[in-house]
Every structure is written in C-alpha cells, then in structure tokens.
C-alpha cells in the first residue's frame, strides 16, 4: 500500500511537470534504458529509474544544505552516458542554490575523481577518508539561482531545469537541458557530509565572497593587509577546533579577547596577542580544518604589528 501511494504521488508529480514544462518523462525513461543497454553504467541507470519511482515530494527545508553525490549525463543522440561527481549547494546568506556535475569539460576525469565515484557508488560510508570528497564538499558554482517554490521544487539555471524528489536520506534530481536532448540523473546522500562541516562550508562561501570584494579593493588600497586583519579571528576559529591548540589555555584566552571584528582602528589593543601568534608552532600535517587564514596567520599578525608601530 505504501509503495502504491508513492507511485501515485510520483505519477502526479510527473503529470504536473509535463503540463508545466512539456517534458515527456516516459520518453526520458525509454531513452535512458536504451542508453543503458550499451553503457558500463547500466546498473546505476536502471537503479536510478527504479529508485526514483519510490520517492516522495521534496520540500525546501530538504534543500537548505550542501550535498555531494554523482550525476549520470545521458546523451540520447550519441547513445552515451557519463558518470561524474556532482554537488548541490545552498547559500544561507543569499538563499540561492546551484546544482551541477564536475569534470564535464574535460576529456577524462582525474584519478581522484574516479576514486571518489568508485567509493560513492560502492561504499558511501567510506567517503570521509576520500581525498576528492574533502575538496568537493566546499565546491560552489559561479551561477546560483532561487529554488522555485510551487507544488514541485524546481531549480532553473542558464542551462538546465532540475526537478528534485526525496526518499529518506537520499535526494534524487532530474536535470533537463534547455538547448539539447541531454539530461542528468542526480543522486545525493544527505548523510555524506558530517553535520559539523556545514558551518565550515558556509564560512568558506563567505570567505570566497569576501576575497572577491578584497580583490577589487586592492586597486584602491596599496596595503592589502588593511582588509585582511580580521582573518586572524577566522584562523583562530579553525585552530581551536583541534589539538594541540584547543588545549592551549593562553591561546584560548587571547582568542576570547577578540570578540569584535578586528580593524586598523582597534588592532592596537592586541599587541600582546599578536606577538604570541607570531611564536605559534603550526604543523600543517596534522590539520583537519585547513584554511588559507591559518597559513597566513603569522604573516597577517606581523602586518598588523607593523600597522601599530
């Protein structure tokens, strides 16, 4: 009975999408199964089609985090399928989203990307140790847009219209090209990225925005560190999440002193703290939370002391 309800719901979603967009989902399924006959990704394609029929209607609250997964790009014209790493991203500040595959513009995927796909499709629980996964979870896209909020959750970007559904901890999506017959099957595991990482991911997005703004300011301000002083606090945030730094009582005390944003106007009050940061021994080999801010901590502290002097 439960499966029957899901099937009815899925059928109603398809019907609505057909009415609104003219997409023929039965045709898409037939094309995918035809490609699957000669593709090395046969099992993934068939599994996606079968699993997607068991999905439920998704809500916007399911799409307010970043997810990693894979995408299968299907080209009916060439009768081909390509398996690629995929990312869904959501910016808390702007409320904008993006979804896409990576490596599509390259003739071949890197060894790290291929290893990631192998792990993801065979043993997702081992992702935390995968090298490419550690990079992919911070990936963003240049073009972001707002999720369509209607009976279906749809994301329309410059090239694709993507429909989302959900089944327990798995999010499925179908992306249809606006200009060709190509389409993408997406699958994302909502548990792949640890909950503790979401704050770090948003911080990284904020950092990229800030750095772009700073890039524009460099033409105006000859002293680049004028707009980098507050990165000291970001570096401390990362360091104090791991040993031996979180057990350093003096470092913890100095970090608590810096509750307000650091600027040229108030950095003078922290000369003792800055000198302490200059003497910190930072071993990159043991970092879990790597960041440019930590790499530049001594450099930024030195410049800040120069500003004071």
Cis link prior to 64 (omega < 30° from 0)? no
Q: Which of 237, 205, 207, 163 is nearest to 66 (CA)?
A: 205
Contact 301, 228 (CB under 8 A): no
List b or e across 19-51, with b for residues whose CB sees 16 or more CB atoms inside 10 angstroms: eeeebebeebeebbeebbeebebeebbeebeee
Give the number of other CB atoms < 10 A from CB of residue 100: 22
Going by pLDDT thresholds of 50, 70 and 90, the confidence category of residue 3 is very low
Question: What is the pLDDT averaged over residues 103-125?
Answer: 92
Residue 300 above 90 pLDDT?
no
Q: pTM of the predicted model, to two decimals?
A: 0.63
What average pLDDT does the structure give for the chain? 82
User: Above pLDDT 90, what percent of the chain?
Assistant: 41
Q: pLDDT tens digit string along 239-250?
A: 888 888 889 999
Domains of the chain, residue spans = 2-189, 221-308
* pLDDT (mean) for 115-124: 92
Q: Are 103 and 117 in contact (CB under 8 A)?
A: no
Over the stretch 4-43, which tens digit does the pLDDT of each residue have? Answer: 434 433 444 443 333 344 557 788 899 999 999 999 999 9
């Amino acid at each position: 009975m439960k499966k029957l309800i899901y099937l009815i719901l899925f059928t109603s979603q398809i019907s609505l999408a057909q009415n609104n967009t003219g997409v023929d989902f039965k045709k898409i399924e037939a094309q995918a199964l035809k490609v699957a006959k000669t593709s090395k990704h046969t099992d993934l394609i068939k599994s996606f089609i079968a699993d997607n029929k068991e999905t439920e209607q998704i809500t916007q609250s399911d799409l307010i985090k970043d997810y990693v997964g894979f995408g299968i790009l299907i080209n009916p014209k060439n009768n081909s399928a390509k398996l690629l790493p995929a990312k869904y991203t959501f910016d808390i500040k702007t409320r904008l989203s993006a979804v896409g595959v990576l490596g599509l513009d390259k003739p071949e995927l890197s060894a790290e990307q291929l290893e990631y796909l192998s792990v993801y499709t065979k043993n997702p629980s081992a992702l935390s140790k995968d090298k490419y996964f550690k990079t992919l979870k911070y990936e963003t896209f240049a073009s972001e847009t707002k999720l369509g909020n209607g009976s279906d959750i749809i994301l329309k970007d410059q090239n694709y219209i993507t429909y989302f559904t959900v089944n327990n901890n798995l999010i499925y999506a179908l992306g249809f090209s606006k200009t060709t017959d190509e389409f993408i099957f997406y699958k994302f595991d909502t548990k792949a990225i640890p909950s503790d990482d979401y704050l770090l991911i948003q911080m990284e997005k904020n950092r990229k925005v800030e750095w772009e703004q700073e890039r524009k300011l460099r033409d105006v301000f000859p002293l680049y560190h004028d707009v980098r002083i507050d990165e000291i606090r970001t570096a401390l945030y990362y360091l104090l999440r791991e040993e031996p730094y979180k057990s350093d009582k003096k470092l913890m005390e100095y970090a608590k002193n810096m509750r307000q944003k650091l600027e040229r106007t108030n950095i003078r009050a922290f000369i003792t703290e800055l000198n302490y940061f200059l003497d910190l021994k930072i071993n990159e080999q043991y970092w879990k939370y790597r960041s440019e801010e930590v790499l530049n901590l001594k450099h930024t502290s030195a410049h800040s002391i120069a500003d004071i002097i």
